[in-house]
Structure 1
Amino acid sequence: MPLDIIINSIAIAGLILVLFLYRMSKKSTIATKNPKMKSTINTGTFAGIGEASEPSPKLRNPKDVPALSEDFTSFELLEEIADEKQRKLFESATSLKKPHPLLMSLTRNINDPKELMDIIKNDPELVVKVIKVANSSLFALRKSITTINHAIVYLGVLQAKNIAMQFALESSAEFVTNEQKQAYHKIWKASFLASSIGLLIAKDLKLENSAELSTRCLLDYLGDISLLTAKPKIAKYYLNHSSYFARVRGIQKELGTNSAIMGTSFAKNAELPQEIIDSISASMLPLVDKLKDSELLSQEQQSVVVFSYYVSRITDLIVFERTMDTINLEEISFAESRCESFFYSQAQIEHYGLGRINGTLRKPRFKDDVNAIIEKLGLDS
C-alpha cells in the first residue's frame, strides 16, 4: 500500500478518535455550584436496571439550572436523636397506639391471592375497608364487589395488599383535629399514587422486583403518618402547598426530627423486616446526597431507596405542592422540576443506573395512565 495512503488513513483515524473523545467528555454533566454533580454511571444495580442513563438535552444548557436557595445550601439533615426535645418526641412515637397485628404480615412478598385472603380475613374491619375501596369511583366498577376474594382477584394481589396496608397503618394512628384528618387524607392519596406510579415505572422497565418497589414507595410516607400522629400542628405543611424541602426544613426546625427518624421508630415498633427499617432510615439521604455513604445498605438496597425517593418526590409535586395537576415531567432533574429535592437527581439516577426512567416519563401511555389515577383520586376533595 502506498505510503501517502497509509498516512492519510492514520490521520483520519486520529481525527475520528479525537471527535469521539470530545463527545464523550461533553455527556451528562450539569453546570452547578456543586462539584458532586458530575455524573458517575454504575450499571451494577437491582434486577432489570443496568443500562446507561438517557442524557437529557435540557440539562446541557447551564441557563436551565435555577439558582439554589441559601436555605438549601446551609441545610443539615438530622439522622439521629440530637437533643432532649427530639428524644422525647422519638419516645412518644414508640408509645403510639399499638401497630396493627397484620402489618408485618402485609409487608411480606405475597404473590398468591389465597395467601393474602387468609391474612386479611382475620380482621373483619380490614375486609370491609378493602371491599369499600374496590367499589369506590377509583376503580369504576360496573358491578359491585361483595367478597374479599373477589376484591383481591379484581384489584390484583399487589393493589389489594397495598390498600390493606394503608388501612393497617391508619388503624395505628389517632387523629384529634380536622387539620390532622385532612392532612392524613392527603398522605393516604400520596402513598396510593406513589405506589401506583412506582409500579407503572417498574413494569415499563421490566424490573423483576416491581411489587417490592411499589410497596417501598407506599412505605416512604410511613414517617409522615408518624409525625402527624405525634404532633398535630405539622398538618399545615401538608395542607399549605409547601415543597418537600420546605416541609422537611420546617418540621426539623420546629420539632428537631424528621419523617425518616420517625418512620424508622414506627417500623421498629411494628417489628417490620430489618431491610424495610434500614430503607426507611435512609429514605431522606438522597435529599442531601449522602446515600452512597450509608454503611447499612448494599448497592442494590441503595438503588431501591433512590427509586422510591424520586417516585415519592414526583408524587409530592402532584399531591402536596400542586405544581402539577397532571404528570407532565419530561425527566427527573433539578432543571425540569425547579425543586431543591431534585438537586442531586441526575448524578444519583446515573450513578445507580436509573436513567431509563426518563424514557418512561416521556411515554404518552404512561402519562395517560398516571393522569387517570390522579383524576380518580380527586385531589381537591
Structure 2
Amino acid sequence: MSVPNEPLLLMNQVYRKVFPIVHRELYAWKQKALQIENEELKKQAVDSVTDKAFHCEGGGIMSLLALKGKRDAIEFIVAYQTISDYLDNLCDRSTSLDPEDFAALHQAMEDALTVGAVPGDYYRLREDREDQYLSGLVLRCQEVLSRIPHYPLIKDELLYLSRIYCELQIHKHVAEDEREERLQTWFEAHRSDFPEMEWFEFSACTGSTLGIFCLVSYSLRSDFKPEYAAAIRESYFPYIQGLHILLDYLIDQEEDREEGDLNFCFYYRNHEILFERMQHFINQADHHTKKLPHSRFHKLINRGLLGVYLSDDKVNKQKKVRKLARKMIRSSGSVSFFFYMNGRAYRNIMKMLPVNIYLKQERV
C-alpha cells in the first residue's frame, strides 16, 4: 500500500476505498441526528449530513495518507467535518447574532481535538438544546485521537488551526453591519505573521479543515516524524486552505447574493483581479507542497480542488463565473482538466443512481 501520486490511481482508490467508508459513517451519524428530540436541531443536523456530504467526501481523500490507518482517519474526518457543517448550519440559520453564543457552540471543535476534555454545555446561550448528538461527535473525535501514538506531536498544531477557524466563524456570523470591521480588526492582529494578502483572503485561509485532516492522517502512520507537524501546518495554511475556501466562495456567489450572505469573492474589484489572485494562490499552494513528503499527492489535492469545485452545477448558472472557471481550468494544465471531467461525470452518475438514497430519505 502506498500514497497515490497519479490522477487515475488516486481516483481509483477514492471511489473504491474511501467514499464507501465515508458514506457508511455519514449514514450512522444521520441515524443519530434523526433521534434528536428538538425539531430545529434535528432539522439542522440532518440537513448538514444530507446537503454537505461532499465536504466529508473531499476531506476523506486525505485519509489515503494514513495508509493502514485509513479507516481511523475517515472516522475522525467525518465526525469532525460533521461538527463543522452542523455548527455552520446553526449559525447561518439561527436568529441569534450573539458572538458569545457562537463561541460557546464552537468550543465543541476545540474539545474534539483535546483528548480527555469533558463535553460542555454548548447550547447554553440558546433556547434550542440537545444533549447527545454534538457531544457524541466530540467524543468520537477524541476516541480516534486517543488511539494515535503521535497525537502529542500534532496537538498544538491541531488546536492552532481549530482556534483560528473558530474565530472566523464567530466574526463572520455576527450582525451584518459589524462583521467586516470585526474581520478587518482580527486580520490586523495577525497580519505581520503572514504573507501579503487582503483581509478577506486571510479570512478564507482560516476557513478550511484540510490542514487538520492532513495532520491527523499523517500522524496515523508508523513513520511519522516530529518535524512533519509544523511542516504540514505551514504548507496547508495559508495557501492550500485559502485556495480551497476561495473556490468554495467563487461558485456560491449568486446564491450568497440572493441570501445576503457574506462572500469573500465580492471584495475583489473585478473578475480580472479575482483571476489573478486565484492564480497566485494556486501557484503558492503548489510551491508549498514541495516542503512535504509525498509532494505529488498534495499537488494532486490542489488540482483536485480546482476540478471538483469548477465542475459544480452552480458554475454553469453564473455566466461570469463560468467564463472564469474555463479560464482557470485551461491555465492549470491537463491534471486539472482530468479532475474537472471526473467531477462532472461523478455528479451525473450520482444523479442517476440511488447511491445516496440513505442521505435523501427521511428529510425533516
- TM-score between the two structures when normalised by the length of structure 2: 0.36
Q: Which has the higher helix share?
A: 2
Query: Greater relative contact order (Cα 8 A, min sep 6): structure 1 or 2?
Result: 1
- TM-score between the two structures when normalised by the length of structure 1: 0.35
Answer with 1 or 2: which has the greater Rg: 1
